[in-house]
Amino acid sequence: MSDTAKPAATPLSAPQKALHKLGLYRDIDLALHLPLRYEDETRIVRLSDAREGEVVQIEARVTHSEVSFGGRKQLVVTVDDGSDTCTLRFFNFYPAQQKALAVGQQVRVRGEIRGGFMGWAMLHPSFRAAGGDLPKTLTPIYPTVAGLPQSYLRKAVLSGLARADLSDTFAPGDLSPLQHDSRQGLWTLHEALAFLHHPRPDVSVDALMDHSHPAWQRLKAEELLAQQLSQLQSRRARAALRAPVLALADGAGSLHQRLLGALPFALTGAQSRVSAEIALDMARPVPMHRLLQGDVGAGKTVVAALAATICMDAGWQCALMAPTEILAEQHFRKLLGWLEPLGITTAWLTGTQKAKDRRAMLALIESGEAKLVVGTHAIIQTKVQFKNLALAVIDEQHRFGVAQRLALRDKLQHASLEPHLLMMTATPIPRTLAMSYYADLDVSTLDELPPGRTPIVTKVVHEARRHEVIERIRAQVAQGRQVYWVCPLIEESEALDLSSATETHAEISAALESPDAKFNVGLLHSRLASDEKKAVMAEFVQGRTAVLVSTTMIEVGVDVPNASLMVIDHAERFGLSQLHQLRGRVGRGAAASACVLLYSTGDAPRLSETARERLRAMAETNDGFEIARRDLEIRGPGEFLGARQSGDAMLRFADLATDDAILEWARHEAPLLLDRHPALANKHVQRWLGTKAEFLKA
C-alpha cells in the first residue's frame, strides 16, 4: 500500500451492526435510547416470603443438578436458600451453564416464581454467581434486536451517556407545563436521562411506565421543542426560496372568472374563503406550501381547479397527482368537464397507458400545449418534461413518500424557482397534529359541506343478521337506488376467515335474481386489468349496475349520487379513517342514505376494545374532525402522517393526546430560541432529530 493510500475501514462487529440497525450511531443516540421496562435487582427475597407469579431474586445453594431426558431434554436444578427450595428448569442450555449450576455452587437467581404440586419452580431464570454488591438502581431492559444482548447494550448506553454532550440548550424559565420534583425542582436533561437509565428503587414504576414522572416530562419538552424548531427552520428556509408569481387575473375573460361562471353550483362560504387564501399565497414570490383539508365531499376538487386556472391564466402549467388510477381518473373526468369547454387542454398520465397514447401525452406536456396534467405517480417519472410547471397539487398526500413529493417539485425547469405546492387530504388533521407534525404548513380547512348532501345513518350490525342486510339491499335496488358492498379480501384466507369478494358477489347475485326484474351486480378488485376496472366502474357510474361488490379500491374518488347504501363487510378489520372514507361514498345525492357496518367476532366471545371503539365512533358521529380526533386517541399519529417521515416517527416520547400543554409551551419557546440563540437552536435540533429534519422539506 502506498503512503497516500487510505487505510481500509475497520469492519464492524456483529453488536455494532446491531446497534446501527436500531439507529444508534452517535453517543446522543445511545443516551436517548431509553428502557422499555425495569427489573428490580436491588434486593434479595427469601423463598419463604415469595408470592406466586412474582418476579423475585434469590440467593441459594445448588443441592441437585441433572440433565433429564424424559420427554424433552432439560437441565433440572434444585436450589435451597435456607428457608425453602426451588426447582430451576432450562430447556436450552450449554455445558458452561451446567458447570455454573453444579452441586455446591452459590448462585443468585432471578425469575418468575410458580408454585405447584412439587413446590416452587422457575423456568429459564437468569442467574450468576452469588455475592457482590447489589445494584442500587433498577436494572434497565432496553429495546433490542437479534445479536445484541442486554449486557452489551447496557454498557454501550452507559458509555454513550458519559460521552454525549448533554448541556442544556435552552433556559426553560418557569416551564409551567412540566411537573416539578419536590426534592429537586426542574430536572436538567442530564439529570433526567441519568435517572431514567437507572432509576432509584423507591420510584413509582407506574410513573416511569406511563411517562408521567418529572424526568419524562423534561424529555417530552426537549423533544417537542426540537420538533417545533425543526418545523420553524423548514418554514423559514422555504420563505427564502423563490416561486413564480401567479397573480389572480382581473376581468370577466379570465379562465378563473369563466370557470366560476360555468360551474353548475355556487361555491360554499368555506370554498370561497379557502380559494382566496390559496390565491393570496400564489401571488407571492415565495413557494406556497399549503395543506387543504376537508371532509369527504367537502369540494376540494373545485378549489384545486380554481387554483389551476390562476396558474394557467398566468401562462404556466399545473399538475395534479393522485395515489390511485381510480382517484386520478375521477379528478380527470371532473376537471375535463369543467375546463375543456373553456379551451383548456388536459393531459392524462398513468402507468398502464399504451405506449402510443403515452408518447402523445408526453409531447403535449413538453410543448406546453397541455396546461393541466392529471395522473398517478407516472407524472414524476424522468421522461415527463414540463415546459413551465408552476403549481403542483397532490391529493391524499399522506399516501406519497417524501421522495415522490420532492420529485414532483423538481419538475419545474427553472434553476432559481420552486413550484407552488398544494396538498389535499380528506382525512381531517386533529389540532395537535396540525400544531406539531404539520406546523411547517399553512393549513386551509373546508369545514362546510355543499348543500343537498343528506345525513348518513350508520348502523352496526352483527354478521348473524346478514340476511336482513341483503333484504335491505333488495328493497333499495327495487326503488332504483344503487348499493356498495365492500369486502376486505379478494380470496379466502384461512388466517382471517373472511368472505371473499368473489363469494359475496355470487351470494348477492343469487339473492337479487328475480323473474320480474334483472339487477346487475358488479365486481371490482385489484387483480382486474385496468380496462376491466374502468368498464366495471363505468357501468356503476352510469346506473346500469345496481350493486357494486368491491375491495377498498372505492375508498376515495368515486362519486355516484344515486348510491344510497354502503355495506362494509367485516368492518372490525378496517381502520377508523378508512371506515369514514368508505362511508363518504354515499349520501352524495338527495336520497336518504345509510351505512351498515357488518361485523363478526369470529371465534372470540366479543370484539376487541379497539374494534368496539372504532365502530362506536362511526355510529355516533359523521363529523370527520371528530372521527380524526378519536382515531388519534385510538391509534396515534401514524395513520395521519403516512409517509411524511418515510416511516420514521419523529416523536418517540411525547404523546399528542395528553401532552398538549407541553406542545403549546414548545410552540411559544421555539421562535424565541431560534431568534435569540440560533446556534443553540440548531444544536438542539441536531441532538434530537439528526437527519430526520430533512423529511420536513417535503
- HEC string of 361-383 equals HHHHHHHCCCCEEEECHHHHCCC
Q: Are 323 and 240 in contact (CB under 8 A)?
A: no
User: End of a domain among 180, 210, 240?
Assistant: 210
Question: CATH number for the domain including 546?
Answer: 3.40.50.300
Domain annotation covers residue 322 = yes
User: End of a domain among 91, 112, 129?
Assistant: 129
Domain annotation covers residue 667 = no
Q: How confident is the model at residue 594 (pLDDT cuts 50, 70, 90)?
A: very high
Output 115 or 645, whichever has higher pLDDT.
115
**CA angle at 518 for the pair 513 and 521, rounded to the nearest 5°:** 75
Instruction: Return the pLDDT at 333.
Output: 84
- Identify the domain containing residue 58 by its residue range: 43-129
Sequence-distant (≥ 6) Cβ neighbours of residue 292 within 8 angstroms: 274, 278, 300, 303, 304, 422, 423, 424, 425, 444, 446
Least confident range of 72-76, 237-241, 558-562: 558-562
To the nearest 10°, report the CA torsion of 531, 536, 537, 538. Answer: 80
Give the mean pLDDT of 173-192: 63
User: Residue type at 13?
Assistant: S
Which tens digits make up the pLDDT trace of 434-488?
777 777 788 898 888 777 677 789 999 999 999 999 999 999 999 999 999 998 8
Output 290 or 410, whichever has higher pLDDT.
290
Question: CATH number for the domain including 70?
Answer: 2.40.50.140
pLDDT exceeds cutoff 70 at 2: no
Instruction: Return the pLDDT at 135.
Output: 86
All three cell numbers of 160, joined, read 454513550
Give the mean pLDDT of 64-91: 91
Residues 30 and 53 in one domain: no
Distance separating alpha carbons of residues 78 and 103, to the nearest angstrom: 9
Residues 282 and 322 in one domain: yes
Residues 326 and 469 in one domain: no
Quote the number of domains for the chain: 4
Domain annotation covers residue 675 = no
Residues 113 and 183 in one domain: no
* Buried/exposed 108-119: b ≥16 CB within 10 Å, e otherwise: bbbbebeeeeee
Domain annotation covers residue 23 = yes
Give the mean pLDDT of 128-135: 87
Residues 518 and 567 in one domain: yes
pLDDT exceeds cutoff 70 at 495: no
Residues 34 and 48 in one domain: no
Instruction: Return the pLDDT at 182.
Output: 43
Distance separating alpha carbons of residues 137 and 160, to the nearest angstrom: 19
Instruction: Return the pLDDT at 28.
Output: 94
Which tens digits make up the pLDDT trace of 288-345?
989 898 877 788 899 999 999 999 999 999 999 888 777 788 788 888 889 999 999 9
Which tens digits make up the pLDDT trace of 653-680?
888 878 888 888 898 889 999 998 999 9
Residues 168 and 271 in one domain: no
Domain annotation covers residue 668 = no
Instruction: Return the pLDDT at 190.
Output: 92
Residues 381 and 478 in one domain: no
Distance separating alpha carbons of residues 433 and 641, to the nearest angstrom: 9
Q: How many CA atoms lie within 13 A of 578 on its CB side?
A: 20
Instruction: Return the pLDDT at 695.
Output: 46
Q: How confident is the model at residue 193 (pLDDT cuts 50, 70, 90)?
A: very high
Instruction: Return the pLDDT at 136.
Output: 86
Q: How confident is the model at residue 173 (pLDDT cuts 50, 70, 90)?
A: low
Which residue's entry shows cell 417535503? 698
Domain annotation covers residue 598 = yes
Residues 484 and 592 in one domain: yes
Instruction: Return the pLDDT at 246.
Output: 95
Instruction: Return the pLDDT at 3.
Output: 47
Residues 97 and 163 in one domain: no
pLDDT exceeds cutoff 60 at 177: no
Which residue's entry shows cell 449450576? 101
Q: What is the mean pLDDT of the chain?
A: 84
Domain annotation covers residue 65 = yes
All three cell numbers of 336, joined, read 375535463
- Burial class of residue 562, CB neighbours in 10 A (0-12, 13-18, 19+): middle
User: End of a domain among 385, 420, 446?
Assistant: 446
Domain annotation covers residue 522 = yes
Residues 54 and 76 in one domain: yes
To the nearest 10°, report the CA torsion of 139, 142, 144, 149. Answer: -20
Distance separating alpha carbons of residues 614 and 579, to the nearest angstrom: 9
Q: Are 473 and 567 in contact (CB under 8 A)?
A: yes
pLDDT exceeds cutoff 90 at 642: no
Instruction: Return the pLDDT at 4.
Output: 47
Which tens digits make up the pLDDT trace of 137-151?
888 999 998 888 898
Residues 117 and 155 in one domain: no
